Structure 1
Amino acid sequence: MQNEVKAKLVAFEQGGFRGDYSVGLAETYKLLVRNLPQKDATQEAGVYNIIGASAWRYRMASDIWEVKSLLGEALGLRCNACLCCDTSVDELQAMGKAQVNILLGNEGLAAAQYLEEKFGTPYVYAVPYGYSGTVSFLEQVGAAVGKASEPIVLMRIKMKEKGMSMLSMFAMMGGNKPRQAAVKGDYDLVQGVSTFLAQADITVTHKMCAHSLKAITEPAADVEAYAEEGEWLQEIRELRDKLLFADDVALTQADASNMKVLISAPFMNGVVATHLPFMGEKGADFLLEQIQGYYQK
């Protein structure tokens, strides 16, 4: 039908029920980067693309806003295309001009590898959760573009990380009560948030991935995916006195003794905020406030 329409047609072969949404996302990203970027694009210093920013994720628009703000402030970089949240065909066609591609989700890995092969564009796969994760993210992006981050930005974030030592005071106030958490969501979110919780001396007893691990290269052994919905529902219903980061369905099913934080999809109501991220410095601020509230509970 290509000769009969003005639009460019891209055949997608992942219909039906052959896989979960993470497989569909990965295939979509690959198809887009194989079909839309123009070959004659000239690389521009200071330009990047974001890959793996799925609109399915809760508050992804806020996370993108935070990532763009950080990269602008710390490294003076500018975003071209954001695959696939708030972007255009023109921006996708110009993806070849980026100096670096930034992955915010494992589903975009194959697409980033293809762009590296086609345009020679390096990619950084470092999802910035927590303070140390954000510093590492900025350092890796800086290394890819040959620039050092603004010292004042790194210092500000590192000072906040040092401030986490105050959590020990809250721990003493709670006596010997064990501090435990459970996290349910996409793989990168589960890993990133769990790492930040561990830095706050909270043991993550359940790392629950909301999709299959088929597309994950060497997934962490303690992250679990579930073949049947009833399996994770049973585990959620058995949780007691934990800090629970999860989706609306899981939070509804969890016992009232848990401190509940909505952090992933599915969610019942539409997302209003575009400035309240989970990633980056501001995201770590939010997560730390939830941790402090849990310690005081």
Structure 2
Amino acid sequence: MGLHRFKPLPSGRMGILWTLSSIRDAAMVEFGCMGHMMYSGVTLENTGVRGACKRYSTHIDETDIALGSTDKLADTIAHVMERDNPRVIFLLPSSIPEVIGTDLQAEAKALQQEYPNTHFLSFGYGGFEVTQHRGIQEALLRLVQTLPRDTDKKPQSTFNIIGSCADLFRFQADASEILRIMEGVFGMKPLCILTSDTSVQDIENMGGAHINLVLRREGEPAAKHLQERFGTPYLQGRPYGIDGTARWIEEVAEILKVPVDRDFLDSQLREGKRLLSDMRPLIRHLGEEHPEKIRLSIGAHADVVRGIRNFGCGELSLPQGTYWCDSPDMAGDDIPYFTEDQWMEAIQSQKKGLLMASGEALAWADRNMSLQITNPDIRRRLNPYVPPFVGFRGALHLMDLWINAALEQEDDED
């Protein structure tokens, strides 16, 4: 790993940890050193993950590494079973056992025989060669491959959310907006919100849903598996903006072959269009007189970047700035991956405009912190009921942020 001024690209292990950490009635045991899980626990709590999956570490030392001993893993599992007796135990690797070749899958099989009433699920990707997003994809897929039970579809239409994970900024608020829209438009309740607000039992019941809503591309392999096993169709995409959210709703309706509640939908559209019409004169003025102040630049998860860009530069006609994603696995011609040096250069080259990036990047550049759209963060997030970025309320929130950030730039010059 090279030197970094800021936080380096997270590993696959971190992606797995963020994905599993919000699952209730489960425990996570890392076969690694003490400091790993302690540091990760603080990070998770700062992002809003509390009271869900119990986290443990085996506290291996130099002797364990030199001898290849796994005795501390067995001791830790015995302690976890006595204290919590969880329904599922996730075995998470760390970099050192990955290097020395510890076979966690074999350990899981042995533990399964010793504790037949608890499900043991082991994960790989403990090294640094795999990125965070591939770890998230692996975790989501492994969960749906092993935990869901055979079941019939529920009499009343239901849905699952796949890909709402703790690594995404405001993951709880965005999931809540999806729930509000699905209930308001279709009268549907969720079976499982994978994984930001779920339990082992919720995952077991996922096969009873009528549609899977995949909020990030890493969740598509999991959705495909559920489609093959249970015949559940899925829709991949994050609804951003007024028109964008309406199109997303129509796609859901088409898949389900059900009508929408037009009263609810029309009320949401009227509210959004009204604010949009109020903003257009000011946006037009700024676009003609000071286009550099409303030029929109975004660096985040590729799906987040594309969705917000389509709303801001499509529906609102904001001037386009620079766009980049936070994973080399997701890079494309329109949204490339930027290294630390590249995104620092991109931010420095545009001193004005609407910059949406991580809290770390915005603080370094002394830019408007209200425009944070991704992690790494520099603050604690204790309140899950903040405004979302997706859906109709997310569109209202984004418009409010953008217009005030543009006006603040004007105030700074006066």
Please point out which of 328, 334, 353 is paired with 1:222: 334
1:66-105 aligned at under 5 Å gives the runs 66-105=177-216
TM-score, structure 2 as length reference: 0.67
How many angstroms apart in 2 are the aligned matches of 1:64 and 1:172? 33
The answer (yes or no) to whether the contact 1:241–1:259 under 8 Å persists in 2 is: no
Pair member with larger Rg = 2
Query: Cα RMSD (Å) of the superposition?
Result: 1.8
Give yes or no for the alignment of 1:18 onto 2:133: no
Give yes or no for the alignment of 1:55 onto 2:166: yes
Cα displacement string for residues 214-248 of structure 1 (whole angstroms, at most 9, x for unaligned residues): 2x5xx65210112x322212212222211011111
Runs of 4+ in 1 over 6 A off after TM superposition: none
> 1:202 aligns to what?
318
Q: Give the C-alpha shift of residue 157 in structure 1.
A: 2.9
1:165-184 aligned at under 5 Å gives the runs 165-174=277-286, 175-178=288-291, 179-184=294-299
Please point out which of 132, 136, 152 is paired with 2:243: 132
How many angstroms apart in 1 are the aligned matches of 2:195 and 2:342? 31
Q: How many aligned positions are there? A: 290
- SS of the aligned residue for 1:223 comes to coil
Give yes or no for the alignment of 1:270 onto 2:383: no
> 2:303 aligns to what?
188
How many angstroms apart in 2 are the aligned matches of 1:120 and 1:32? 17
How many angstroms apart in 2 are the aligned matches of 1:185 and 1:94? 32
In proportion to residue count, which structure has more helix? 2
- Alignment-mate amino acid for residue 334 of structure 2: D
TM-score, structure 1 as length reference: 0.92
Cα displacement string for residues 194-215 of structure 1 (whole angstroms, at most 9, x for unaligned residues): 1111121112221121122x2x
* Unaligned 5+ runs, structure 2: 1-109
- Alignment-mate amino acid for residue 216 of structure 2: G
Work out which structure has the larger RCO, using CA pairs closer than 8 Å and 6 or more positions apart in sequence.
1
How many angstroms apart in 2 are the aligned matches of 1:211 and 1:271? 23
- SS of the aligned residue for 1:10 comes to strand
How many angstroms apart in 1 are the aligned matches of 2:129 and 2:332? 24
- Mean alpha-carbon deviation: is it higher for 151-160 or for 97-106? 151-160
Q: Give the C-alpha shift of residue 255 in structure 1.
A: 5.0
Going from structure 1 to structure 2, the CA distance change for 1:220 and 1:157 (only over 3 Å counts) comes to: farther
How many angstroms apart in 2 are the aligned matches of 1:167 and 1:88? 42
Q: Give the C-alpha shift of residue 106 in structure 1.
A: 0.9
Cα displacement string for residues 241-292 of structure 1 (whole angstroms, at most 9, x for unaligned residues): 1101111111012255x68511211111222332221111111110011222
Cα displacement string for residues 171-213 of structure 1 (whole angstroms, at most 9, x for unaligned residues): 354342113111111111101111111121112221121122x
- Mean alpha-carbon deviation: is it higher for 142-151 or for 110-119? 142-151
Q: Give the C-alpha shift of residue 295 in structure 1.
A: 4.2
The answer (yes or no) to whether the contact 1:30–1:110 under 8 Å persists in 2 is: yes
How many angstroms apart in 1 are the aligned matches of 2:149 and 2:285? 60
Please point out which of 305, 327, 334 is paired with 1:211: 327
- SS of the aligned residue for 1:252 comes to helix
- Mean alpha-carbon deviation: is it higher for 110-119 or for 149-158? 149-158
- SS of the aligned residue for 1:81 comes to strand
- SS of the aligned residue for 2:119 comes to coil
* Unaligned 5+ runs, structure 1: none
- SS of the aligned residue for 2:277 comes to helix
